[in-house]
Amino acid sequence: MTTLHTPPPVIAPERRPPTALSRFLRGNEAGLIAVLAALWIVLGITSDPFLTHHNVANILLDISQIGIVGVGMTMVIITSGIDVSVGSALAVCAVLTGQSMSAGNPTVVSVLISVAAGLAAGLVNGLLIAYGRIHPIIVTFGTLNLFRFISYQLTGGEWITGLPSSLHGLGVGSLLGIPYAWLLTMALAALAGLYLRYRPTGRHLYALGNNAETARLSGVRTTRRQVAVYTLTGLLAGVAALVFIGRNGGVQTNVGNGFELQVIAAVVLGGTSILGGKGTVLGTLLGALLVGTVRNALIIVGVPALLEGLFLGLLIIVAVGVDVLRQRRRATA
């Protein structure tokens, strides 16, 4: 009589969850750091003034406004939205703040005016998108032109000059060689990063971006989340306007022109998926640093300023193309 022996079942080894370091190395942030390091090494070798403290501080100052608004834009794009009106919203905030300072109002009043104006602009976008159920690109393209018209009407086509120096420290001041504006940017980014990672409402934004209907059926208050992220982005545009006034000491009629392109470029280059559901604030700061480095390099090599938009547009197209290909690969895997 033959006895059949059944081999013991093969037990797959237990897979350990990835560590924070391994997740970071596989993420977009590590790749961006490598690209930035290589770019800074090359520029440092080929251009003597690039790695000077003065030039590095200028880069950080240049990208502070981009980083501040980029914090809110990251959340907007994570929810599968977009806000192309931030440049015009910043213009309205800057004009109102400049007029308030020219009238001799206390600095705190002028600051509150800027923040309130930005909050109102963002709230308008959020309400129209969330409750009007209008596509974000349509709403924000409309308000881009509306806010720009308002800013021109407020100034009458004239520059606002001769402002008090009460915001000068925020615009050009520094601590241990690091601009105050960049320290503010990093503080806002840290708060937003902690919120997105650890707060349930922060995780809701990712769920909304992945599938809005599924998120709604799961109990996520999708309309509230949409209103909140656009309102926050507008508020941060008001904060960025304060940095702008502090640095420039006045308000030009064309303030904020093309600013939305720089912010969106920073967010998308930072790895936030234009399709929603994926992104980090750290990636956005690194993307802003890449945008600032490219802009600074173009100035050093003498490329005309009119071509800056071309380079930013090409960077956005490349970043979006890579993201779309990555999403398709995951869908077919």
Mean of pLDDT over the chain: 86
Structure token pair of residue 204? 């809701």
Q: Using DSSP, state whether 160 is helix, strand or coil.
A: strand
Beta strands (DSSP E) in the chain are: 174-175, 178-179
The domain spans of the chain are 53-256
Min mean pLDDT across 227-236, 284-293, 300-309 is at: 300-309
Taking phi over 0 as left and psi of -120 to 50 as alpha, with beta for the rest, 307 belongs to alpha
191 closest CA partner among 36, 20, 74: 74
Whole-number pLDDT of residue 1: 47
Q: What does each C-alpha distance from 290 to 19, 114, 186, 305 come to in angstroms? A: 27, 28, 16, 17
Please, what is the angle between helix 281-300 and helix 308-332, to 10°? 140
- The one-letter code for the residue type at 35 is V
Q: How confident is the model at residue 15 (pLDDT cuts 50, 70, 90)?
A: low
In the chain, the percentage of residues whose pLDDT exceeds 90 is 47
Structure token pair of residue 6? 């059944």
What gap in Å lies between CA 77 and CA 209, rounded to an integer?
8
Whole-number pLDDT of residue 108: 94
> Could you identify the residue written with the tokens 């999403």?
327
pLDDT in tens, 240-292: 999 999 988 888 888 888 899 889 989 998 889 888 888 999 999 999 999 88
Whole-number pLDDT of residue 258: 85
Min mean pLDDT across 27-36, 92-101, 114-123 is at: 27-36
Whole-number pLDDT of residue 284: 94
